[in-house]
A and B are shown apart, each in its own frame.
Chain A
Amino acid sequence: MPRIPLGSTIEAIIDFLVTHFSFLTIAFTRIMENVIRYLENGLLFLPPWLFIVIVAGITFWLTRKWGIALFTLLGLLLIWNMGLWVATISTITLVLIATLTALSIGVPIGILAALNNGVNRVVQPILDVMQTMPAFVYLIPAIPFFGLGKVAAIFATVIFSMPPAIRLTCLGIQQVPRELVECADAFGSNKWQKLFKLQLPLATPTIMAGVNQTVMLGLSMVVIAAMIGARGLGGEVWRAIQRLQMGSGFEAGIGIVIVAIILDRVLQHVGTKKR
């Protein structure tokens, strides 16, 4: 039986894209690398203790919970103490850029899919594939387009973390009770008025759950992306694996957990605060 050339076809397509478009993506990479560097340097400009106090203050302001603020304060101090400060800032920067990108693409697609059956039918199977595909696979094509490094990591992270944003935005809007949509229609609302005055406000908690998941997935992917040179906390883990340094591996792991918990708690509160 002849082998179906699935892999080689995909390879051919990617090769084609690389030879014809990589000059664009590589140029983009150069620009992005600078943006990332400026952001990181900006965040590192403040002395860590000041930064930590400010972040703890912001978490309190957002959540109104002393516990979360205290955890933030102590957690970040521990990270600083472990000598992982620069790596953490690098990871946070990547997560920030990747998830903001994923959200600004994913939420509009989710809205479109919710309002348009045709779009929905195309998007759903793509999402299924995106979510079940092992995360590592995205790393491979990222390299020829963006080179080894942070931009390739961001690219893979965006793709990996986008599905929940699309899915939950779509779900949130579809869950708006039909009679309310009908009512908005009966009062002469146009599409945009319906969207901004009714559907999005009611879908907000669900959309925020999607945002939360996107950020969490983004964080996990940024760590994995250390394999293609993303550095940061993931880089520390990666190095510890290669040198079998159990202690420093766990330290970096704990740093990741702390960042994840802070992000999760804050986002959960932003999502439910509205009510």
Chain B
Amino acid sequence: MSETKKEPKIRVDHLTKIFGSHSQEALEMLQNGVGKDEILEKTGCGVGVSDASFTVHEGEIVVVMGLSGSGKSTLVRCINRLIEPTAGQIFIDDQDITSLTSDELRHIRLTKLGMVFQNFALFPHRTVCQNAEYGLEIQGLASSKRREKAMVALEQVGLKGWEDHYPVNLSGGMQQRVGLARALALDPDILLMDEAFSALDPLIRSDMQDELINLQNKMRKTIVFISHDLDEALKLGDRLVLMKDGAIVQIGTAEQILTNPADDYVARFVENVDMTKVLTAESVMVKPKAMVMLSAHGPKSALRFMQKEQVSQIFVYDREHKVIGLVTADAASEAVQRHETELHHIMQTDFVSVVPDTPAADLIPIMANLPYPLPVVGPDGKLKGVVIRGSLLAALAERGRKNNA
């Protein structure tokens, strides 16, 4: 969704990671198209990531998804080189991470790359505040200064007042907030979050997701977020990266992936979201902001309604309150200039509509290129509501969570 033409913040270029002692041999086999299982059998090497390339733009949240063992963690750990890549390059701000000396690498980790771990990885012998201070301490900041910064970070994640407790005394959600604060205290450009919320129970998890979205609205970090949960991905991700057996199978926005899965694997992944079947048009629609009545309103009032509600089209109903068409703002304003007083001529009557119990899964392809909100029309012909793209995706993410709860 980011339309910026800027240089990407992170660029991963043909990254490959092979675990094991004969990695070069295995690498050659991999490049010759030998499969993962055969490589494991012949060389004893495990392929973690194979030839992955993608970019992350500044201020973007990219969610990496895939089944267990698909190489998500390996991919992200290569970005800060907790795992040494076997081949390929990683650029952060156009600097090649793979060629850094260990001192340079530590500096980059300290200034640009915050990481949040699945199992929190809090230091048990340090208080909440001392945990949040850790990175600053490594930076060598004076103790009063780092306490100040750590407190700001703790406040951001809503943990004010807990600074002198030890992690064991905190709930899971709070512990993960400490993990987040520890990363935020350094004010890194990039946050790497490896299944950061997976260990939390569903309600707390959703809270944390909201919290992250909130924080992201304020600070525009570049975030690589790992998740194996599509709902979470839909809710958080500007773009998704789908992995299978170490390779990236599809990159795109949630909509692109939902409507146009690259292959069966992705389709099955997407299909696993039960709520697209459970949810219906009725449950994800919103009330139309405005409507006009054919016999009572002309182009001028239609245009005024649209301007008032900031929409670019409006539905028209007749005396029986049945929807009979829609008028676009362009058509209406032209009609006003031509001093017309009737909606008849400018009304588009061949619009797409769905019945209230259409499954949400079917809505996604219908809406893909629809230039107007999708009307939901009851058996009596009355407009019950409209489905707009944002509300559909939000509803899918939201309800999915409740179903799981």
Contact = CB atoms under 8 A, between A and B. Distances in A.
B117 to A, nearest CB: 6
A193 B123 CA distance: 14
A183 interface: yes
Given A179-B119, A197-B137, A186 B109 contact: yes
Contact of A202 (B110, B115, B125, B182): B125
Interface string A109-122: 00000000000000
Contacts of B134: 184, 187, 197
A201 B125 CA distance: 7
Contacts of B106: 188-190
Max count, chain B CB within 10 A of own CB: residue among A185, A198, A202: A185
Contacts of B110: 187-188
Contacts of A189: 106, 138
A186 B106 CA distance: 8
Interface in A181-239: 182-190, 193, 197-198, 201-202
B119 A187 contact: no
A4 B276 CA distance: 81
B119 A198 contact: no
Interface residues of A, number: 18
B115 A186 contact: yes
A202 B167 CA distance: 14
B121 A182 contact: yes
B125 A180 contact: no
A183 B115 contact: yes
A177 B113 CA distance: 22
A188 to B, nearest CB: 3
Interface residues of B, number: 22
A185 B84 CA distance: 13
Contact of B138 (A177, A180, A188, A274): A188
B405 interface: no
B138 A187 contact: yes
B82 A185 contact: yes
Contacts of A182: 82, 117, 121
Nearest to A183: B121
A215 to B, nearest CB: 24
A172 to B, nearest CB: 13
Contacts of B137: 197
Nearest to B105: A188
Contacts of A179: 117, 119, 121
A185 B113 CA distance: 11
Max count, chain B CB within 10 A of own CB: residue among A189, A198, A201: A189
Interface string A65-97: 000000000000000000000000000000000
Nearest to A178: B121
A188 B123 contact: no
Contacts of A187: 109-110, 115, 134-135, 138, 182, 186
Interface string B129-145: 00000110111000000
Given A185-B82, A187-B109, A180 B121 contact: yes
A269 B124 CA distance: 20
A188 B125 CA distance: 19
B403 to A, nearest CB: 31
Interface in B151-205: 182, 186
20 contacts: A179-B117, A180-B121, A180-B123, A182-B117, A183-B115, A183-B117, A184-B134, A186-B109, A187-B109, A187-B134, A187-B182, A188-B107, A188-B108, A190-B106, A193-B138, A197-B123, A197-B134, A198-B123, A201-B125, A202-B125
Interface of B: 80, 82, 106-110, 113, 115, 117, 119, 121, 123-125, 134-135, 137-139, 182, 186
Given A188-B109, A197-B137, 12 more contacts: A179-B121, A182-B82, A182-B121, A183-B117, A185-B109, A187-B115, A187-B135, A188-B106, A188-B138, A188-B139, A189-B138, A193-B138
